[in-house]
Amino acid sequence: MALLRDAESLVVAKSVDLQILNSSGNEFRKLKPSASGNPYDKIVVGAATLRHASDSTGAETPTILLLKRAPHEPYFPNVFELPSGKVDPGDPSLKAALVREVHEETGLNVTEVLAELKPMVYTTEKAITDNTNRDVIVSRTAIQLNYVTLVSKGEVNINTDEHSESCWVSEAESHSLDITMAMRAVVHEAFQWATTG
């Protein structure tokens, strides 16, 4: 209940589409179908979480929290990503899912949603065995809605079932990390927002 109350009381920038952020997963599917006109199979929310740190000259520079996917993850093991996760059927809104996922993955509480970034649209494929013992490839369309957020102060406590490490990185530092091209574009957009926003 506390996380739900936190989601309801979040400060959200006016530039964020509140109709989308306050919609449930099912409502979002009706509002924003995929390019094919069909609803997305999976909706994910991600948080480009900002903090400012002092560099070697004492100047403030924005940093973003990235998490390294666990080695046993079926998709992109050992690759860095934003704190993110699937919108569950029980989440009353995308905002509540964002708050829940950030807290589950980092132990931190979202305090403010500052901006929305371009979504990532992708397809996942999984081999399953059907009732005739044949392998069948199942494709699912997914969209990841990304937001620039602020979080409560405190140490990051990662969920070790999903991630193996966390780091606050500047944009320059992010270039040396293993990140997918799509995620790198989101991270770059978040840094652009942080420096011009």
Per-residue pLDDT tens over the stretch 98-119: 999 999 999 999 999 999 999 9
Instruction: Give Cα 85 distance to the centre of its chain.
Output: 6
The CATH number for 2-196, chosen from 3.90.1150.10, 3.40.640.10, 3.90.79.10, 3.40.47.10, is: 3.90.79.10
Q: Return the closest-CA partner of residue 6 out of 166, 152, 147, 182.
A: 152
| Range of weakest confidence among 40-49, 132-141, 169-178 | 132-141
- Residue 50: the pLDDT is 94
Residue 36: band (very low, low, confident or very high) from pLDDT cuts 50, 70, 90 = confident
Percent of the chain with pLDDT over 90: 69
| pLDDT tens per residue, range 46-92 | 999 999 887 777 778 899 999 999 999 988 999 999 999 999 999 99
Residue 94 — pLDDT band, cuts 50, 70, 90? very high
Asked whether the predicted pLDDT for residue 197 surpasses 90, the reply is no
The answer, yes or no, to whether residue 1 has pLDDT greater than 70, is no
**Residue 28 pLDDT > 50, yes or no?**
yes
